[in-house]
């Protein structure tokens, strides 16, 4: 009997504000001495009152608009109650029934840069909500005086945290991987967070259940899903997210095949063993005893305020990639690499605005991509100077260059295949063969760039 995964995800992103969500403590907590960036508010001491961070609210709205969400005319904060050592107040200030943004979507499509497999993906993932809350403290497990203990660092407690919640629209690990990487790219384009997973500023929490394939049509039409779900908490790596989901798919499928229904629970991923382990039974909304945060009034927005925030979105990666292809005649692969980061895309356009007529757009793109130009240390003018200097000795026309490269690749098929398979030394062999045919009319660097470009095509 075949089963398919039903997956929804929650993505938590720490916003890059200077101060925390409800107090004036510095928000940059990574690598700081434990418990040195705290105050009565983020420690939950009696009598301390929270004051919302305006920039964090605006950035959450900005992200919601970028994801096509509707911004609620009225939004509020709520208290989410649960007891855990890293939650000093015994509740978390979050949002429940009136989040800042609802009902968006994100298009998944083939992207040669961030796609995780060769399988074609074309799909719209619905986004249920984008809301704002405060982060918790962080537990550190250690051995003190021979005893295994858990220590709490509250530096992270109270940092502004935006949560993106999807509908259970994913049916494969590849779709989750593409979505999360694309979301990270958008967040970075908006410049609201570094979304650095290694530092924990972006964390993924997938919820997985399995459904019989033969009942797919009726269940999709009726909106029914399996009567359980398993959530995996706080994954801070795309690789680990893939492995955790893959493990859960196998674990749950084996249980269902044997007639058992997986328990609805929260699990953690153990990186060293590549397995998930049970943490606690999965709570429902009523278990958290939500009620409106009495110390923070509701928020309302004028249309002019939302319009001003919307104008800050700018050109997002997909739109920029399409423009680079049509306006500059670049391949999808090259355009994808150039728009991978907003900084690189802006650098490319700064260079082409200064270029002379003798330097082609393709040459500039190839230099930025293949030479991995340090855009922070190399000005556009310096890059153009390097390109000119390297091409001074080149007396080969485009057609002659094309003939030479094609001949080298035709005569050395195995070397070309070796390079495709990751053998870097094969590339230098091909360059040597091209140098022989070019008879001193071109530099090794130019021949190398053209070989790479031709093999890639």
301 and 339 in a single domain? The answer is no
Number of independent structural domains in the chain? 2
287 and 353 in a single domain? The answer is no
294 and 327 in a single domain? The answer is no
Residue ending a domain, choose from 278, 310, 342? 310
279 and 337 in a single domain? The answer is no
Query: Which pLDDT score, from 0 to 100, does residue 221 have?
Result: 42
354 and 430 in a single domain? The answer is yes
Residue ending a domain, choose from 310, 329, 345? 310
- pTM equals 0.83
Closest by CA position to 202, among listed 13, 21, 27? 13
Confidence of residue 219 (pLDDT cuts 50, 70, 90): very low
- 351-381: per-residue pLDDT in tens? 999 887 668 888 899 889 887 889 999 999 9
Residue ending a domain, choose from 310, 332, 365? 310
191 and 288 in a single domain? The answer is yes
324 and 296 in a single domain? The answer is no
214 and 180 in a single domain? The answer is yes
297 and 344 in a single domain? The answer is no
107 and 242 in a single domain? The answer is yes
Which structural domain range is residue 396 located in?
317-456
- 243-275: per-residue pLDDT in tens? 999 999 999 999 999 999 999 999 999 999 999
191 and 299 in a single domain? The answer is yes
**How far apart are the C-alpha atoms of 428 and 45, rounded to whole Å?**
65
13 and 112 in a single domain? The answer is yes
CA separation (Å) from 87 to 93, 227, 267? 10, 30, 19
């Amino acid at each position: 009997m075949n089963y398919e995964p039903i997956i929804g995800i929650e993505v938590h992103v720490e916003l890059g504000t200077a101060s925390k969500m409800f107090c004036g403590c510095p928000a940059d907590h990574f690598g700081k001495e434990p418990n040195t960036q705290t105050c009565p508010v983020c420690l939950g001491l009696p009598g301390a009152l929270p004051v919302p961070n305006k920039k964090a609210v605006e950035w959450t709205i900005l992200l919601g608009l970028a994801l096509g969400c509707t911004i609620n005319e009225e939004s509020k904060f709520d208290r989410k109650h649960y007891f855990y050592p890293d939650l000093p107040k015994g509740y978390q200030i979050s949002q429940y029934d009136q989040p800042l943004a609802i009902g968006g979507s994100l298009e998944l499509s083939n992207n040669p840069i961030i796609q995780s497999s060769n399988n074609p993906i074309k799909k719209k993932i619905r986004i249920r909500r984008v809301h704002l809350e405060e982060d918790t403290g962080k537990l550190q497990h250690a051995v003190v005086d021979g005893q295994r203990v858990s220590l709490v660092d509250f530096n992270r407690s109270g940092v502004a945290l935006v949560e993106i919640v999807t509908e259970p629209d994913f049916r494969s690990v590849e779709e989750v991987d593409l979505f999360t990487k694309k979301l990270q790219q958008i967040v970075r384009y908006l410049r609201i967070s570094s979304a650095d997973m290694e530092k924990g500023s972006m964390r993924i929490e997938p919820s997985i259940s399995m459904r019989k394939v033969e009942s797919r049509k009726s269940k999709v039409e009726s909106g029914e899903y399996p009567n359980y779900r398993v959530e995996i908490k706080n994954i801070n790596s795309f690789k680990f997210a893939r492995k955790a989901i893959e493990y859960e798919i196998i674990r749950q499928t084996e249980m269902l095949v044997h007639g058992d229904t997986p328990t609805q629970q929260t699990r953690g991923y153990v990186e060293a063993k590549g397995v998930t382990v049970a943490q606690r039974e999965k709570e429902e909304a009523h278990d958290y005893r939500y009620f409106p945060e009495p110390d923070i009034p509701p928020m309302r927005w004028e249309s002019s305020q939302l319009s001003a925030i919307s104008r800050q979105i700018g050109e997002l990666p997909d739109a920029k990639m399409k423009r680079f292809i049509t306006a500059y005649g670049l391949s999808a692969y090259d355009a994808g690499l150039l728009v991978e980061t907003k900084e690189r895309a802006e650098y490319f356009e700064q260079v082409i605005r200064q270029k002379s007529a003798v330097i082609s757009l393709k040459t500039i793109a190839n230099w930025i991509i293949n030479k991995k130009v340090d855009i922070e240390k190399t000005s556009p003018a310096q890059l153009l100077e390097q390109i000119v200097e390297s091409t001074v000795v080149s007396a080969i026309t485009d057609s002659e260059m094309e003939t030479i490269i094609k001949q080298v690749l035709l005569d050395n098929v195995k070397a070309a295949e070796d390079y495709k398979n990751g053998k870097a030394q094969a590339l230098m062999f091909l360059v040597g063969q091209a140098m022989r045919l070019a008879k001193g009319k071109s530099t090794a660097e130019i021949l190398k760039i053209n070989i790479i470009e031709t093999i890639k095509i």
